[in-house]
A and B are shown apart, each in its own frame.
Chain A
Amino acid sequence: MIIESIEINNFMCYSGNNRFDFTEGMNVIIGDNGYGKSKLYDAFYWAMYDQCFDTNEKQWKSTRFLGKALISDKAITESEDGLIRTSVRMTLKDTDKDRQYIVERILKAEKREGEVIPDNESIQEITFRKISGMTGKLITNPEEIERIKRKVLPENIRPYMWFQGEQVESIIDFGESDSLSRAINVLSNISRFDEVKIVADAWAKSVGEQYHRKVKALSTDRDKSDKLEVNRNEIVARIGLLENDIKQCKENLGYAEEEADKLVNKQEDATRIRELDVSRKSLEKQLEEIEEELRYERIDLHKKMFTNRWVLKGSEGLVKLFNEKYGNYQDEKLSKRAEAKAKSDAENKVLKELQTRLPINVPEPVFVEKMLDQGKCLVCDREAKEGSEAWNSIKQLLDRTQEVSQGGEEKDQIINDFESDFRRLSQHGYAMEQDIGRIDENIVKTFTRLDRLDKKRRSTRDQLDTVQKEISNLVTESSINPERARHLLSELLANNDHALRFRGNLTRFEVELERKQKELEKIDKDLGELISEDLPSWLEEKKKLLLDFKEIAHSTRDRVFKKLVKQLEDEANNHYHEMMQGNLSAKGIIKLVESTKGNYMPRLVDQNENPLMQLNTGNIILIKLATIMAIISARQGSRDTDLYTLITDAPMSVFGEDYTIGFCKTVSKVYRQSIIMSKEFYKNEALRRQLLNDTDINLGKVYMITPSISENERSNRNSLQTLIKALN
């Protein structure tokens, strides 16, 4: 059947009524992560199977457990008290016969006083109508319903036709023997051969016992044969145990080998993750340091207001003002001093004149006083009695001298000498003036430094974000976390140790088994020799027939299985190489190689069957996708790719651009209808254009979905709705 349309109403992020129409060919839904692609996938799944995949817990959940989570938040917020109806409605067309089927699932919820109570169960309605007719007929017969659902998608091929990218790894988990057998089984029913094998084993065992009983019965020496019998039973028991041990050992060895394989494959990714993690740690440290520095600088910045005198910005005027005043003050002082000096100069001059009247060695005042007392000029030794002209001249001299010395002081006398303070203030002002001139420059420098630091911080932050994103992408895709990545190598070595041990045990057991089997043979021979007559020929014949049949059953089963594996391998290679088209970097052939446990592991080899390279996550996913496609397309005598729709959001980002287009080409060729969800075409416009224009891609409808609220505002989901835009 072809899916013609899906109508999604009030389902998760699809509030209100939403509709996608599909045609034959490859239909593409483009949107970034979290935009609603996987919710669309959930819509398909829920409509058909009443389940949605919880990506956090990685498990399927039914309506009962999902309840309110299924209903659009916007619908809940905006509706008034009463009924809220969530539904998904798929319209399908049966192309063989001219009729339509509508599969609809409805969940009703009641809103009462702000509380929303959904029903415990959802209702599924399947309607059938002829296209030409208008009314549809609701199908009520449960068997008919099952038949129709099988027509939409049979149970056994469901995992390979409707799957999410995250499940790719596990759908074909080559490490699980079940997984490949199941896949092979889908390809062609191998279970019959397994069943025949079991029957053949049972028959062989039965005839063996029958034979042995007969031998015992014909024994001539009861005692001896009894003894031998006891021995024999021990050996048979021991053989049984050994066979179990060997089986266990093989299983353990198988696991170890698979683990080794997985680990080796993950090595590349693990190394990368380890590298990224180291780089992340160093970036985190850098960021911390820068942020610390920034914080310190910011605090310092405010201090600079005072320590760097920024607060004085633009106030030079005040300095000038003061210095004018100070200048005046100084002038005044200077002129006063000049006055005083002039006075004292004049005085000195007078004094000097006075002094010239006396001989050169002018007597000191003390001496002059003595002269006055004695009334005699001691220089010229003439009389100078008190009151005489000579005495008066001498006195005059003394007075004058005293006057001069006193007068200068007196003239210079003020109450407070603030000169040194004022001078200090002035000098200080000048000094500050210098600083003020430099303030602007200083500020610019500081802010430049801050700016630089901030840029550095932002760039480090960006780098850190990029690295963290890369790590988380890689971790998700390869399922290794950084912790494990670090220990991967030691894990590998430990694993190899285990494997070595198991191999050792296995060899030991096998050697002993052989020995025991020989012993058994001998005893049987001995027992045989004790019999008196030949065993009946029909019994001999029966024994031979059934033992041979057992061998045939085993070998045929293996042969058929191997052939199917080869078939799968060939078909997978076809798809793989088509997807690789034009890409030289990853040639190679997929080879499914059998392991000890009986499982098959994918290897990429060259023409000479040498391993080409270690497989990284991207390779593995491509190979698995190719294999998944092969399972369906290789089914002999089936038209599955014609009859059923592929629905997937395969992780194409893992393979890169070239492979994405190759993948699309292949898918559109192999499946009559496919619905692909992709984020690769969202950001990459060139790729999108290629998709829309490449004639090799059989394109159906292409849609772009965007949420009505951006990522950052996503915390409030009450107005979230999904906008659908058709691109062709």
Chain B
Amino acid sequence: MTREQILRLYLDDDKLIDEGYLREGEGNQAAWSDHLNNKMVTVIKDAIEGVVGGESQALMTRKINKYLDRNL
């Protein structure tokens, strides 16, 4: 399965629409490079990339913190 295929399966989840991360229909046809500004989509992509790339847990956690933390 390609990254894109995997992504689409995640974006197909109802939760995304319920919590307002995506609008209906936006998810399952998305290309990998779409929704670059969408935080949830980015989180998902980061997870997929990390797993497919074989990154360590520690590294992945550091990366996600880097993305989501806003330390003053």
Contact = CB atoms under 8 A, between A and B. Distances in A.
A–B contact with Cβ pairs below 8 Å: the answer is yes
Interface of A: 188-189, 192-193, 195-196, 198-200, 202-203, 206, 536, 538, 541-542, 544-546, 548-549, 551-553, 555-556, 559-560
Given A206-B61, A552-B44, A556-B10, 6 more contacts: A192-B48, A198-B57, A203-B64, A206-B65, A538-B68, A549-B47
Contact of B40 (A196, A548, A555): A548
A552 B70 contact: no
B6 interface: yes
A195 B13 CA distance: 17
B15 A551 contact: yes
Of B21, B39, B68, the most chain A CB neighbours within 10 A belong to B68
A234 B1 CA distance: 43
Contact of A202 (B1, B39, B44, B57): B57
Nearest to B3: A192
B6 A192 contact: yes
12 contacts: A188-B1, A199-B57, A203-B47, A203-B60, A206-B65, A541-B68, A542-B69, A548-B21, A553-B47, A556-B9, A556-B12, A559-B13
B20 to A, nearest CB: 10
Interface string B1-23: 10000100110111110010100
A193 B48 CA distance: 9
Given A536-B70, A538-B68, A556-B13, A545 B40 contact: yes
B47 A199 contact: yes
A224 B12 CA distance: 45
Contacts of B50: 199
B15 A545 contact: no
B1 A192 contact: yes
B70 A195 contact: no
A553 B16 CA distance: 11
A192 B1 CA distance: 9
A196 B13 CA distance: 15
Contacts of A538: 68-70
Pairs A-B, 9 closest by C-beta atoms: A538-B70, A542-B68, A195-B51, A552-B13, A196-B47, A556-B10, A552-B15, A199-B47, A556-B13
Contacts of A200: 47
A600 B17 CA distance: 30
Nearest to A555: B13
A192 B52 contact: yes
A313 B42 CA distance: 113
A559 B61 contact: no
Contacts of B15: 548, 551-552, 555
Tell me the dominant secondary structure on chain A's binding face.
helix
B51 A192 contact: yes
A189 B1 contact: yes
A543 B19 CA distance: 14
B31 interface: no
A129 B21 CA distance: 58
Contacts of A188: 1
A199 B60 contact: yes
Interface in B18-72: 19, 21, 39-40, 43-44, 47-48, 50-52, 57, 60-61, 64-65, 68-70
A206 B52 CA distance: 21
Contacts of B12: 556, 559
Contacts of A192: 1, 6, 48, 51-52
Contacts of B21: 548
A567 to B, nearest CB: 14
A409 B40 CA distance: 152
Contacts of B40: 545, 548-549
A192 to B, nearest CB: 6
A202 B61 contact: yes
Contact of A203 (B19, B39, B61): B61
A546 B46 CA distance: 12
Contact of A196 (B19, B48, B68, B69): B48
Contacts of A195: 51
A497 B57 CA distance: 43
Given A188-B1, A189-B1, A196-B48, A552 B16 contact: yes
A9 to B, nearest CB: 45
A540 to B, nearest CB: 11
A560 B9 CA distance: 8
Contacts of B68: 538, 541-542, 545-546
B54 to A, nearest CB: 9
B6 to A, nearest CB: 6
Contacts of B13: 552, 555-556, 559
A555 B16 CA distance: 11
Contacts of A193: 6, 9
Nearest to A636: B1
A203 B62 CA distance: 10
Contacts of B44: 549, 552
A271 B34 CA distance: 62
B1 A196 contact: no
Contact of A546 (B6, B16, B43): B43
A189 B64 CA distance: 25
B19 A548 contact: yes
Contact of A545 (B43, B48, B57, B65): B43
B19 to A, nearest CB: 6
B51 to A, nearest CB: 4
A195 B9 CA distance: 15
A198 B48 CA distance: 12
Nearest to A194: B51
B1 to A, nearest CB: 6
A412 to B, nearest CB: 135
B48 to A, nearest CB: 6
Given A549-B44, A556-B13, A196 B51 contact: yes
Contacts of B64: 203, 546
Nearest to B18: A548
A643 B4 CA distance: 27
A542 B48 CA distance: 18
Contacts of B39: 541, 545
A552 B60 CA distance: 18
Given A188-B1, A203-B64, A556-B10, A549 B43 contact: yes
A269 B47 CA distance: 50
Contacts of A536: 70
A66 B40 CA distance: 58
B51 A199 contact: yes
A118 B60 CA distance: 54
A206 B64 CA distance: 11
